Amino acid sequence: MELTVEKKHCGAQEREALLYVLRRLDAEGVAYKVVGGMAVVLQGVPSVPVNDVDLEMPEAAVYRFQELFAEFALLPVAWREGETYRSHFGRFEILGVLFEVMADLERREGATWVPTMTVTESRVDLEELSVRVSPLEEETLAYIRRGRLERAARCLPLCDHQRLLALWRGEIPTHVI
């Protein structure tokens, strides 16, 4: 199933949907971390298009998400394996916003599968919520490694440059590509 999503910046609709989902997850005690473009926007990077909201979760949590938001499922959570990535993955449209949830994300490197989930986290305040996000420096490094240099350039002014360099050199462990 292929979905087409118009690129857009985080606006009121995305914020409302994100708050709706995160409040429900927090109320149910479901662990999550916001990653990707939404994590970058939540950390104050301007003008980054948000195509969807990506949530990394432990395996049990991604299936609990499926239970909580079953009526919004476009692609129910299941183990999925593609040419490059594999994970427990599901896609949901909630209040008009696309959410992708994943657990145990791995990418193929040659004949081997390697973990790709973020290792560390930061927190940002979103209204009354303390939201777990992937650190800006990990997202920036991932953008650089994937050749998304325009996005990386938007992030760099807000990054802790010493932390970014330590990630680049492998002094701080990370699984992001």
Give CA separation, 139 vs 40, 41, 74, 103, in Å: 7, 11, 26, 17
Looking up tokens 């995160």, which residue turns up?
Answer: 22
DSSP 117: S
Per-residue pLDDT tens digits for 8-51: 446 788 999 999 999 999 999 999 999 999 999 999 998 888 88
Residue 173 has pLDDT above 80, yes or no: no
H or E element in which residue 19 lies = helix 12-28
Domain with CATH 3.30.460.40 in the chain: 12-134
Return the DSSP state at 127.
T
Cβ atoms of 114 and 175 within 8 Å: the answer is yes
In whole angstroms, what is the distance from residue 132 CA to residue 11 CA?
Answer: 20
Cα dihedral: 39, 12, 74, 115 (round 10) = 0
Q: Is the pLDDT of residue 2 over 70?
A: no
pTM of the model: 0.87
Please count the CA atoms within 13 angstroms of the CA of 116 that sit on its side-chain side: 21
Q: Give per-residue pLDDT as tens, 66-89.
A: 999 999 999 999 999 999 899 999
Domain 12-134 indexed as CATH 3.40.50.300:
no
